[in-house]
Amino acid sequence: MGINTILFDLDGTLIDTNDLIITSFLHTLEKYYPNQYKREDVLQFIGPPLYDSFVALNKEKVEEMIQTYREHNLANHDLLVKEYEGVFETIKTLHEKGYKLGIVTTKMRNTVNMGLALTKLDQFFDVVVTLDDVKNAKPDPEPINLALKQLGSTPEDTIMVGDNHHDILAGKNAGTATAGVAWTIKGKEHLATFNPDYMLEHMSELLSIIGVE
């Protein structure tokens, strides 16, 4: 495999933001729909842009709900976010070996920067494509295509790694190889139904897949 570029989703892939995201959704939904939502009910909202999740619930108050979510999310960010096991070491190795590394996420840039800085992963990435940078979020290929353009890479040289079906479908739509992560909160079996080329049980497995000694 002639891979020289690796693109990663951020939340749920490199950094564990699940508790932060879930509590932010529950905080918001409790405000607008008291006693109607439990933890398992909000798993469906993880992955898509906030607008897509909230507009389906309330078209009139979608912006207000997004603001409520973001205020809670920012206030609790550093308390609840941590990296997954093996991520820092794997990304550091890829960086040292000269691979081109990028983030492709549906988050806004300010919270992306916070997560990368908190986990000290910010030093390794050449390109970070956020929701601010595109018109169409994953699974549309636009964010991946933008990252590839900025990195000077082609789909044939690239693998997209993510925890959500949006990541796998975006990679397929852009023509890259794809890898799911078994630690996805929605379950490995669910992610496998979208047929990623690889399923990582541990981030370090990526090294052997692309041929790093």
Verdict on whether the full-model pTM lies above 0.85: yes
- The answer to whether domain 18-80 has CATH 1.10.8.50 is no
Residues 6+ apart with CB under 8 A from 51: 62, 66
The dihedral through the CA atoms of 194, 198, 204, 210 has a sign that is negative
* Whole-Å CA distances, 30 to 11, 27, 38, 43, 185: 23, 5, 9, 15, 22
Q: Are 17 and 24 in contact (CB under 8 A)?
A: no
Which of 49, 42, 37, 38 lies closest to 18, judged by CA?
42
19 is catalytic: no
Cβ contact 210:183 at 8 Å: no
Residue 27: what pLDDT? 97
Domain with CATH 1.10.150.240 in the chain: 18-80
pLDDT at 1: 59
Tens digit of pLDDT for each residue in 11-41?
Answer: 999 999 999 999 999 999 999 999 999 999 9
pLDDT reading at 47 higher than 90: no
Distance CA 101, CA 94 (A): 8
In this prediction, residue 48 carries a pLDDT of 85
Task: Report the chain's mean pLDDT, rounded to a whole number.
Answer: 95
Instruction: Give dist(CA 34, CA 23) in Å, integer.
Output: 14
Condensed to tens digits (0 to 9), the pLDDT of residues 59-99 reads 999 999 999 999 999 999 999 999 999 999 999 999 999 99
Q: Which fold has domain 5-16+82-210?
A: Rossmann fold (3.40.50)
pLDDT of 46: 87
- Residue 24's pLDDT is what? 96
| pLDDT at residue 84, as a whole number | 95
In the numeric block, the tokens 């398992």 are attached to 40
Residues of the chain with CATH 3.40.50.1000: 5-16+82-210
Match 């729909």 to its residue by tokens.
Answer: 33
